[in-house]
Structure 1
């Protein structure tokens, strides 16, 4: 008699029994109120948040999503590209987040820059100049050369508000494994310079619904998905950003109404970004 055939090993379930990070979409009002009440300790201080990442990662969509959540309706201030896979953002752009009153704004600013494409992307040296406040709004990035001191968009005398207080790396979750070595190296180089200046760093993983079928079915599965946790751990190892500073989100891009689960992830990330920036400002003021 022949030996018994070995039974195929059962596939492991794609979801953890319990989420490894707690996010309660029903409690999004707490984070929303926290952001609405935020005020820097120093009078007149503006918290500057610089976004960077690969072309097509969703930087502009994240800016629009933040504005939408805070306004309670869909908002499209930052132009986002849904067709081209090249760098859509060409200029150093500043976005002030409007409150319910059209004449008032939140005390934090989001800056968008050209994507980190290997050949045609933003120069790492230009990002370093942004850190220290030497880039003026409207500067058109040149992939072939960095901004020179003689250029009209070079800010010779940056103020405290011109300088970056938080660096946010935005990367698409569904293409993390195929991100080029050149792009990863650019992210590392930028991170090293930010670390040298003491600037805190956060990573946002966008398009999580495209990365995992379980998350696409139910956004609440984002912290139960084994695949997503593994991708976040690998990205953390690749660029050095700690896991507790990495946040998966889903930007608004095709919806016409807000969703509590989407809002909760965006607000969780935004609150952490604000806390990091506030800690940095207070540390620099000591």
Structure 2
């Protein structure tokens, strides 16, 4: 029943996303930052959002299914074409993933700087050293448009119970920093089909799955996010065309990201 309601809202959610414009005139685009461990599905989620909005499967954000370490190395901003002359009014920032070992993966302090708008686009992260104000990639005077307006934590649903303690600690530290800045936070659990065989057979059972509900509650306890801020999604990774069931989950999460971000901008 709950999934049917989400699916029935597909057209309404699409209209909301397509017509969205930030009311705060200091901002041209709402900025959404995806963060989480290497291989969580951050880049794939952006590709999936673009696939839904363009009506065909895309792969602009490069991913690597075989890599055991982070594939994204730069602070990359992705806009999505609405038509030939205009873009959607939100930006996704992809970032290097967390890794459990020191000297690999993105630094927590670098993500905190990104939240404040101090990281320039295309800055290449250095696992061996953090960004400093002497680096070329440092934005000394960020505008509101440069800052992050929504933080989204990303983790595969099947890894919640075995998530590395050090990675979880880093994710929670970023979340707490965002809270101090007043930045709203959401989370998405990806790869729900891999985590639950029943869902793999029928995506309509995603919100009926006791296992996935348990993972949402566990992730809520790990990060301190309310369960209603944690969304279950399946990214477009093996499909050759889009379908309404997968679209429904992605659009539901995307609309809430935009809504939370708009509330943040209006409160400033």
The TM-score normalised by the length of structure 1 is 0.90
* Partner secondary structure for residue 187 of structure 1: helix
Match of 1:279 among 239, 245, 263: 263
Gap runs ≥5 in structure 2: none
Q: Which residue of 1 aligns with 2:230?
A: 246
1:5 corresponds to: none
Give the counterpart of 1:117 among 99, 114, 120: 99
**Partner residue in 2 for 1:8:** none
1:26–1:260 CA contact under 8 A, matched in 2: no
* 3-state SS, counterpart of residue 189 of structure 2: strand
Displacement of 1:43 in angstroms is 3.2
* C-alpha contact 2:98 2:106 (8 A) present in aligned 1: yes
Secondary structure, in 3 states, of the residue corresponding to 1:223? coil
Quick check: 1:159 aligned with 2:143?
Answer: yes
Runs of 4+, deviation exceeding 2 Å:
21-24
Question: Deviation digits for residues 16-64 of structure 1, max 9, x if unmatched?
Answer: xx65x76432431111111111111123622100000110011111000
- The equivalences for 1:32-71 within 5 A come to 32-43=14-25, 45=27, 46-71=29-54
Greater gyration radius: 1
Secondary structure of the 1:192 match is helix
Residue equivalent to 2:176:
192
Aligned equivalents of 1:86, 1:175: Cα separation in 2: 15
1:126 to 106, 110, 116: 110
2:189 to 192, 205, 209: 205
Q: Is the 8 A contact 1:25 1:264 kept in 2?
A: yes
Q: d(CA) in 2 for partners of 1:213 and 1:71? A: 29
Q: Which residue of 1 aligns with 2:210?
A: 226
Q: Secondary structure at the match of 1:105?
A: coil
- 1:23 touches 1:264 (CA, 8 Å); kept in 2? no
CA-CA distance at 1:107 after TM superposition: 1.0
In the TM superposition, residue 82 of structure 1 has moved relative to its aligned partner by 1.2
- The count of corresponding residues between Structure 1 and Structure 2 is 265
The match for 1:180 is 164
**Distance across 1 between alignment mates of 2:65 and 2:84:** 28
Aligned to 1:141: 125
For the Cα contact (< 8 Å) 1:90–1:140, is it kept in 2? yes
